[in-house]
């Protein structure tokens, strides 16, 4: 029988609870938390009140470099790197703290959350594996997530050079329709 530290086990449970509350998938917990699968399942059901979602995790680096996800991925990863620089912090703790700061920042700014904790974890894994890289924008000097072999020399971010269809979401179309309907009502009055 192994001698386990109760304090160490309690820390693992706290980490798992934090990740579950952020909406992490079971595969993330299994990859980062030193508890058995059975304990993680019981903990997940207790904290989330439901069984964990099934299915494959995101596996492509392409998602992180499209327009809006790139901005959110870059924001999260810059926060993560800043937190990670603190001495003695484990990767999972840096992930939890950085994701908490990311969601807090978006809440304060009133912006929608694009990045999930599972995708954030995958982003860190892709950087660790050397599949993604970062580059400074030549116009705003912000550091952004790019594909490993993308050109860095004259990189311009998605904020400085927005694609033509940026902001053309379903909600923007619905808002425009509501404005048009409101204008028609005003014109009829």
Query: Mean pLDDT of residues grouped by 10 in the chain (189 residues)?
Result: 73 93 92 92 92 81 90 95 89 95 94 93 94 92 89 86 71 55 44
Token pair of 171 as six digits: 């909600």
Residues in the chain: 189
| pLDDT at residue 143, rounded to an integer | 93
Name residues whose C-beta falls within 8 Å of residue 159's C-beta, 6 or more positions apart in sequence: 71, 137, 140, 142
Give me the helix-helix angle, 67-84 and 117-128, nearest 10°.
70
Cβ 159 vs Cβ 71: under 8 Å = yes
Token pair of 27 as six digits: 């595969």
| pLDDT at residue 173, rounded to an integer | 53
DSSP-assigned letter for residue 166 = T
Name residues whose C-beta falls within 8 Å of residue 47's C-beta, 6 or more positions apart in sequence: 17, 20, 21
Alpha-carbon gap, residue 7 to 4, rounded angstroms: 9
């Amino acid at each position: 029988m192994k001698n386990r530290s109760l304090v160490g086990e309690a820390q693992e449970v706290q980490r798992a609870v934090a990740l579950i509350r952020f909406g992490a998938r079971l595969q993330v917990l299994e990859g980062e938390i030193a508890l058995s699968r059975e304990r993680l399942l019981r903990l997940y059901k207790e904290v989330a009140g439901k069984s964990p979602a099934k299915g494959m995790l995101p596996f492509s680096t392409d998602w992180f470099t499209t327009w809006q996800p790139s901005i959110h991925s870059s924001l999260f990863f810059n926060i993560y790197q800043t937190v990670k620089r603190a001495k003695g912090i484990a990767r999972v703790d840096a992930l939890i703290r950085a994701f908490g700061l990311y969601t807090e920042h978006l809440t304060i700014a009133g912006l929608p959350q694009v990045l999930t904790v599972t995708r954030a974890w995958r982003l860190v894994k892709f950087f660790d594996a050397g599949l993604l890289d970062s580059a400074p924008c030549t116009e705003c000097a912000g550091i952004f997530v790019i594909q490993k072999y993308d050109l860095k020399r004259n990189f311009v971010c998605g904020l400085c050079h927005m694609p033509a269809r940026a902001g053309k979401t379903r909600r923007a179309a619905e808002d425009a329709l509501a404005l048009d309907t409101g204008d028609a009502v005003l014109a009829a009055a």
